[in-house]
Amino acid sequence: MEVKKWKSAVKKIGNHANEKENKQESIHQDSPNHVTDHLALTLEVIKNEIGHNSDVHFREFIIGRTGIHAAIIFVEGLSDKDLIEKHILSSLMADFSKEYQQDQLYVKGSLSKQCIKSQVLSISDVEEVHSIKEVISKVLTGSTALLIDGLSLALILGTSKLKTRTIEEPVSEALVRGPRVGFTESLSDNTSLLRGSGDIENLSLVKFQVGKRSKKDLIVAYIKEIVDPELVEEVEKRIKKIDLDNVPESGYVEQLIEDNYLSPFPQVQNTERPDRVIAALMEGRVAILLDGTPFALIAPVTFSMMLQSPEDYYERWIPGTFIRFLRYIAVVLSLFTPALYIAFISFHPGLIPTKLAISIIGSRSGVPFPALIEALFMELSIEILREAGLRLPKPIGPAMGIVGGLIIGEAAVQAGIVSPILVIVVALTAISSFSIPQYSVGITLRILRFVAMLCAAILGLYGVILFFLFMMSHLVKLKSFGVPYMSPAVPYRLSEWKDLVVRMPLMMMKRRPKMMHTKDPLRKG
């Protein structure tokens, strides 16, 4: 009997211990997702999440002489410590009971959030947050969280101090005449550049957050009185569908919101220039700015926009038209010159003038390779040199590209691997590709150039024509946020050709593009 009693007692003790352990586990599992009025409990939950990081600081203190415990949480390096010490800690730890003892917001031994926000804290950016997850997110982006015992909320204080570079001239879009400012990696600087471009009425900047694990702010900018509401709705809808852990650059956004990801042509324009963004907004387009990158996105776009530069409008219409016409010629030369060389040499030598044909045949007499192989050799060499020049340090990159191209071209001719006429063709092609103002379009044309060369090597001039027809049929069907990519050429709108190949005088361009379906079709001014 005594043995049975002893066993039953041990069993009860064991069950009691298990119940206690299970209760503790359930308490741990049921940790609050929201800030509670119990400071110690809230701090414990936050410390379990981010307390292991050495750069996250927890500072506990007592508010004045009230006896109320409080704590601040901030990340070293992201938050401004001077601002925290002078305008947060010194304000809260000072004895303000005498100053506010007659105020209804102050009660001895307790504090209201109104008293803290309106009378104690001398800082402008204050936000109330109830979710612990949101508190952690704000702290990890440079804000300071203030927790007060007895208040079931956290006050997020704007103390972010991120190191950013100064506003400089855009590197990828250099101009001879025009503003010398470009976007930076700071979203606040970029929005201020848009606001500072002029007193723009109804400029709307709508904020979103992208990224599931690493959240970043994203701004959708448009002019409310001009833009088509359906366009704004479509842009916001596609942005909300972005489902990634991290969005480090606007190129991610561009790829996730474009209409046809299989097309080699970019359907969203990227730019570093605030003046280009403002001009697009005035036409009824939408701009997208992402924190952490100087490249803004413009949507929708057309192919003709990719060949335009803001400088076209800063010069008079005659030189502006001439320069734009040169760009269209450069696009044709960049895309078709090597292919036409292969087609004429391999299939249609009879189409070449007799004297020129004799000269070309004489220069190629010692070349052991067909036209396709020698063209591929030179084109690939130029592309590798261009890529190497971009990746090398700036002082030696351009020099290496020029010297490397001269040495390889001269050595290849002397060795009899390529003909001198091909060196001229490749040089003309490379120079033409450099005149394209949009880098992403230049990459596309460089890729398609190799496709055109292969078509020329198979079917000659007929292959080049077929390639051109397939490419144009794809461009005609392509759309950017519902806007035809080849407009105003297709669909045909002669009235809008004033800003296509020819840039007519500004006084003749009084209407905004019809394809944008803007609320206000007329340009005021």
Phi and psi angles of residue 486, each rounded to the nearest 5 degrees, phi first: -95, 5
Cα-based distances in Å from 58 to 47, 70, 73, 247: 9, 10, 5, 29
Same domain, 350 and 461: yes
Residue with tokens 């269209």: 328
Residues 6+ apart with CB under 8 A from 263: 474, 478
Residue-by-residue DSSP string for 125-185 = -EEEE-BHHHHHHHHTTT-EEEEETT-SSEEEE--B----PPP---SSS--SSS------S
Same domain, 319 and 288: no
Residues 6+ apart with CB under 8 A from 165: 184, 185
pLDDT given for residue 165 in this prediction: 77
Residue at 518 is within a domain? no
Contact 17, 8 (CB under 8 A): no
37-52: average pLDDT: 90
**Residue 266: other Cβ atoms inside 10 A:** 20
29-37: average pLDDT: 72
- Rounded Cα–Cα distance for residues 296 and 254 (Å): 10
Q: 248-257, pLDDT tens digit by residue?
A: 999 999 999 9
Which H/E stretch holds residue 70? strand 68-75
Q: 499: which strand partners?
A: 503
Same domain, 204 and 345: no
Q: In what order do the strands lie in the sheet with 126-129?
A: 56-63, 68-75, 144-148, 154-157, 126-129
Per-residue pLDDT band for 493 (boundaries 50, 70, 90) equals confident
Q: What is the mean pLDDT of the chain?
A: 84
Per-residue pLDDT band for 14 (boundaries 50, 70, 90) equals very low
Q: How many structural domains are present in the chain?
A: 3
**Residue 169: other Cβ atoms inside 10 A:** 14
Q: What is the CA radius of gyration of the chain?
A: 33
455-477: average pLDDT: 95
Same domain, 75 and 151: yes
Contact 481, 259 (CB under 8 A): yes
Residue 96 has pLDDT above 90, yes or no: no
Residue at 22 is within a domain? no
Task: Look at the alpha carbons of 363, 368, 373, 374 in this order and tell me if their dihedral is positive or negative.
Answer: negative
Contact 223, 282 (CB under 8 A): yes
Query: In 3-state terms, what secondary structure has residue 460?
Result: coil
Q: Taking the C-alpha atoms of 84, 86, 91 and 95 in order, what is their torsion angle to the nearest 10 degrees?
A: 130
Residue 5 has pLDDT above 50, yes or no: no
67-74: average pLDDT: 89
132-158: average pLDDT: 89
Our measurement of the distance from residue 29's CA atom to the centroid of its chain's CA atoms, rounded to an integer in Å, reads 39
Structure token pair of residue 211: 């990224």
Q: Taking the C-alpha atoms of 261, 486, 446 and 340 in order, what is their torsion angle to the nearest 10 degrees?
A: 140
Residue 18 has pLDDT above 80, yes or no: no
Residue 290 has pLDDT above 50, yes or no: yes
Helices 420-434, 397-414: inter-axial angle, 10-degree rounding: 160
Residue-by-residue DSSP string for 75-122 = EBTTB-HHHHIIIIIHHHHS--HHHHTTSTTEETTEE-HHHIIIII--
Per-residue pLDDT band for 111 (boundaries 50, 70, 90) equals low
Same domain, 317 and 287: no
308-314: average pLDDT: 90
- Rounded Cα–Cα distance for residues 339 and 371 (Å): 10
Residue with tokens 């901030």: 74
pLDDT given for residue 323 in this prediction: 92
* b/e per residue 326-358 (b: at least 16 CB within 10 A): ebeebbebbbbbbbbbbbbbebeeeeeeeeeee
Identify which has the larger pLDDT, 105 or 425: 425
Q: 246: which strand partners?
A: 214
Q: Which of 291, 281, 277, 270 is nearest to 189 (CA)?
A: 291
Same domain, 260 and 360: no
- Rounded Cα–Cα distance for residues 187 and 384 (Å): 35
- Rounded Cα–Cα distance for residues 113 and 109 (Å): 14
pLDDT given for residue 8 in this prediction: 52
Per-residue pLDDT band for 112 (boundaries 50, 70, 90) equals low
Residue at 2 is within a domain? no
Q: Which of 177, 165, 183 is nearest to 273 (CA)?
A: 183
Cα-based distances in Å from 254 to 223, 270, 379, 440: 21, 8, 29, 12
Same domain, 336 and 457: yes
Contact 316, 281 (CB under 8 A): no
Percentage of residues in the chain with pLDDT exceeding 90?
41
Out of 60-74, 157-171, 445-459, pick the least confident. 157-171
> What pTM, to 2 d.p., does this model score?
0.82
206: exposed, middle or buried (Cβ count in 10 Å: 0-12, 13-18, 19+): middle
Per-residue pLDDT band for 404 (boundaries 50, 70, 90) equals confident
Same domain, 320 and 295: no
Residue at 245 is within a domain? yes
Residue at 491 is within a domain? no
pLDDT given for residue 499 in this prediction: 86
Q: 107: which strand partners?
A: 110
Contact 297, 254 (CB under 8 A): yes
Residues 6+ apart with CB under 8 A from 471: 448
Q: Which of 300, 332, 347 is the last residue of a domain?
A: 300
pLDDT given for residue 11 in this prediction: 47
Residue at 407 is within a domain? yes
Same domain, 330 and 278: no
Same domain, 475 and 346: yes
281-307: average pLDDT: 94
Domain that holds residue 42: 37-96+109-155
Q: 316-373, pLDDT tens digit by residue?
A: 999 999 999 999 999 999 999 999 999 999 899 888 888 888 888 888 887 888 899 9
Same domain, 288 and 377: no
pLDDT given for residue 116 in this prediction: 76
Same domain, 339 and 211: no
77-97: average pLDDT: 82
Q: Which of 68, 246, 241 is nearest to 149 (CA)?
A: 68
Contact 188, 291 (CB under 8 A): no
| 8-state DSSP, 116 | I
Q: E strands within 358-426? A: none
pLDDT given for residue 23 in this prediction: 41
Query: In 3-state terms, what secondary structure has residue 220?
Result: strand
Alpha helices in 199-316 (DSSP H): 229-240, 250-257, 274-282, 303-306, 311-314
Residue at 10 is within a domain? no
- Rounded Cα–Cα distance for residues 101 and 118 (Å): 15
Residue at 372 is within a domain? yes
Out of 20-24, 165-169, 187-191, 294-298, pick the least confident. 20-24
275-294: average pLDDT: 93
Q: Which of 247, 269, 300 is the last residue of a domain?
A: 300
